[in-house]
Structure 1
Amino acid sequence: MQLKRLTLAAFFVALCVIGGLIKIPSGIGSLALDTVPALISAAFLPPVFSGIVGMLGHMASAMNSGFMLGPLHVLVALEMFVIVIVFARLHKAGRNLTKWIFFIVANGLIALLPFYFLISPAFFLGAVPFLLLATIVNAVVAAVVLPSLQHVVDGRMGALR
C-alpha cells in the first residue's frame, strides 16, 4: 500500500510540474497552475503526502521560473506543505466550503505576509492581487475537476486513503 501511495504522489508531483509550465502572468514570475494537482491529491492521498506534493510542485514551478525569489522559495514551499495538509484534512473531514475558503485566504493572503517584512511592504502590496488571482484560478480549476475525478476513481477502483 505504501508503494501505491508513493507512486500516486509521484504522479501528482509530475502533474504539478506540468501545471507549473502553465503560467499566470504576474510581476512575480512563478505563479502557475502548479497547485491544482496538489489540491486534487487531497482526495486520494493522506494529508502529509498531499502536502509533500504541494511543496515539491511549488519548488518545480519556482525552478522553472528561475527562482525569482531566490532562497525564499524554500519558505513558500514550506507554507505550501502546511496549507495543502490543512486543506486535505478539511477535505477528509467533509468541510467542503471551509477547505476552499481556507485555501484562498491562506495561500492568497497569509502565505505572502512574511514577505511584507522580509522584502518590503511595496512587494507585498504589489504581489497580493496577482497571488490572490492565481490562488482563485487554481482553486476554481481544482474545484471543477475534483468531484468528477473522485467520482470516477471511487466508482472504478476505490480511492487510496
Structure 2
Amino acid sequence: MNIKKISLISLFIALCVAGASIKIPAVVSSVALDMVPALVGSVMLGSLPGATIAFIGHLLSALFGGMPMGPLHLLVGLEMAALVWLFAIFYKKGYRLLASVLFVTGNTVFAPLPFLFLIGSGFYVGLMPSLFIGSVFNTGIALILAPRLARFYEGRFQKEAVR
C-alpha cells in the first residue's frame, strides 16, 4: 500500500469523524452520517480500505456519542465494516441499486439483531426507524458523491506513469 492510499484512508476516517457530528435523532446517539465517507471510500479505494474506514468511523462516531452501548460498539463496528465491504463488491460489479438495498436492509434489520437477544425487543424495534433513516441518508449521499469523486480519483492518484 502506498503513502497516497494511506493518506486517503486517513482523510476518509477524518471525514467519518465530521459525519459523526451530524446526528440523526435515535434511541442510541451513534446514529449519524458517519458512513458516507466509508461508502465513498470503498468505491474509490476498494472494499477492504472501505471496511477499515467504516470500522474506525463507527467507533469514533460512538465515542463522540458517549459510547451508549459500551464494548458492544466493537460488534457494531465489525457489522458496519462487513456491510460496507459487501456494498463495495456489488457497487463495483455495477449493481448499485442492489448494493444500496443490501446496505440499508443489512444496517436496519440484520445489524441490530444481536441486540434483540441482548437488550430486548423494545430496543430493537425502537432503533429500527432511526437506523432506516440514517442508512437511507448515508447511502443516498454516497450514491451522489461516489461516481463524481471516483471519476476525479481515477488516474490522478493511481501509480505514477513511467516516463
TM-score scaled by length of structure 1: 0.93
| Partner of residue 140, structure 1 | 140
| Partner of residue 5, structure 1 | 5
Q: CA deviation at 1:4?
A: 2.0
In 2, Cα distance between equivalents of 1:159 and 1:18: 26
Unaligned regions of 5+ residues in structure 1, if any? none
Per-residue Cα deviation, 1:83-138 (whole angstroms, up to 9, x for no partner): 11111111222211111011111111110111100110110011111111111111
Q: CA deviation at 1:66?
A: 0.6
Q: 2:4 touches 2:157 (CA, 8 Å); kept in 1? A: no
Name segments (4+ residues, structure 1) moved above 3 Å: none
| Partner of residue 157, structure 1 | 156
| Partner of residue 38, structure 2 | 38
Which residue type is aligned with residue 42 of structure 2?
A: A
1:60 matches 2:60: yes
Q: Aligned pair count?
A: 159
1:120 matches 2:125: no
| Partner of residue 99, structure 1 | 99
Instruction: Report sequence identity in percent.
Output: 37
Q: 1:24 touches 1:31 (CA, 8 Å); kept in 2? A: yes
Which residue type is aligned with residue 84 of structure 2?
A: V
Unaligned regions of 5+ residues in structure 2, if any? none
Which residue type is aligned with residue 117 of structure 1?
A: F
1:89 matches 2:89: yes
Which residue type is aligned with residue 106 of structure 1?
A: G
Over 3 Å counting, the alpha-carbon distance change for 1:118 and 1:159 in structure 2 is: farther
SS in structure 1 opposite 2:27? coil
Q: CA deviation at 1:31?
A: 0.8
TM-score scaled by length of structure 2: 0.91
Q: 1:42 touches 1:91 (CA, 8 Å); kept in 2? A: no
SS in structure 2 opposite 1:98? helix
SS in structure 2 opposite 1:24? coil
Q: 1:44 touches 1:159 (CA, 8 Å); kept in 2? A: no
Per-residue Cα deviation, 1:136-156 (whole angstroms, up to 9, x for no partner): 1111111111122222333x6
